Amino acid sequence: MAAQSVRASAGKELTYRLPGGATMTTIIPPKGFRPQTAAPATARAFGFDAPDNPRALAAWRTKYKGYRETTPSVPCLAPSRKSSLRVSYSSNWGGYVATGHSNYNEVYDDQNIPTYSTSCGSNSNTMASPWIGLGGFRSTKLIQQGFDAGASATATQGARLWYEYLNSAHQNPLVYVGHTTKTGHVISQAMTYRSGKVVFHWYDRTAGSGWSDVTVSGLSSYYDGTTADYITERPYGKLRKFSRQTFSAAGASYGSTFKDLFKLATTEVRLTTNGSSSGAAMFSDTHSTSSSFYQTWKRCS
């Protein structure tokens, strides 16, 4: 059965208008849908990247063997906050960016939801925000997805899932699509860009559940394929302390080539108190494998 037929007959597709001229769609699979047992074409119709090759399909199904349910992704706009990678030192974020190509079109990783400490303060102005993205390092164009600490000013554990798209003309707000209280769980994230359209994917590998994939159209003016980004941000003045934050299974594709993060040319972006080499480091980055690094907290501000 063709993908469009699967969508029409079995799934519920929702469409939302977004700021900056973009459109978000998400398709919710029917009750009982399991990507690990579905035919590859059916899985792809609901946003899963199931391959047709039998050997690759077996490995893919092992990754999703514990998948049990899909949670609908529903947009909720956040207050605007400016995000753009500029230099190798920053006062807002830290991590790594992959360089060396002009056509990065997919970025992905696994991230644990860290335990947040209230020692830096318990209000919403001390959150941490790990994310992956395309662009922003060499231009003001940036498309990104990630998660924030907590769902309210006093919720210090868990995560709120979001995506965002920015350029010099439109500093659009974050779009929240869901939340979880499962501190310590590993979230697989992936975002893919094709001809102005981006698909965002979140999957809680620990719980065996995911959120319905989100497709956003009209993003060609926000795309910069010269970098793939793996970042933890402090969107406000302080950054809430957290247990070790690990970016693993991290990599990117350019054209049809997929590579681990550290098999690509990379630049470390160091988060410091004043955004320069003279400032104190907020956390350290430790490169551990070809596709993994972790961040160790040093201070609040």
Domain boundaries, the chain: 75-297
Pairwise CA distance, residues 58 & 56, whole Å: 5
Query: What is the CATH number assigned to the segment(s) 75-297?
Result: 2.60.120.200
Bridge partners, residue 204, by sequence: 187, 209
Q: Which three-class secondary structure state does DSSP give residue 245?
A: strand
Sequence-separated contacts (24+) of 180-185 with Cβ below 8 Å = 180/113, 180/204, 180/207, 181/157, 182/113, 182/158, 182/206, 182/207, 183/113, 183/114, 183/115, 183/116, 183/157, 183/158, 184/112, 184/113, 184/114, 184/115, 185/112, 185/113
What is the reported pLDDT for 121? 62
Taking the chain (301 residues) in runs of 10, the rounded mean pLDDT of each run is 44 92 94 94 92 93 93 87 61 92 97 77 66 94 87 60 94 92 91 98 95 97 97 72 85 96 95 91 93 89 76
pLDDT of res. 240? 59
Q: What would you report as the CA-atom Rg of the chain, rounded to the nearest whole angstrom?
A: 18
- Which of 242, 238, 256, 178 is CA-nearest to residue 210? 178
Full DSSP string of 43-100 = HHHTT----SSHHHHHHHHHHTTT--EEEPP--EEPPP------SSEESSEEEEEEES
Record the pTM: 0.86
DSSP alpha helices (H): ranges in 107-234?
none
Give the pLDDT score at 119: 67
Average predicted confidence (pLDDT) for the chain: 87
pLDDT score for 18: 94
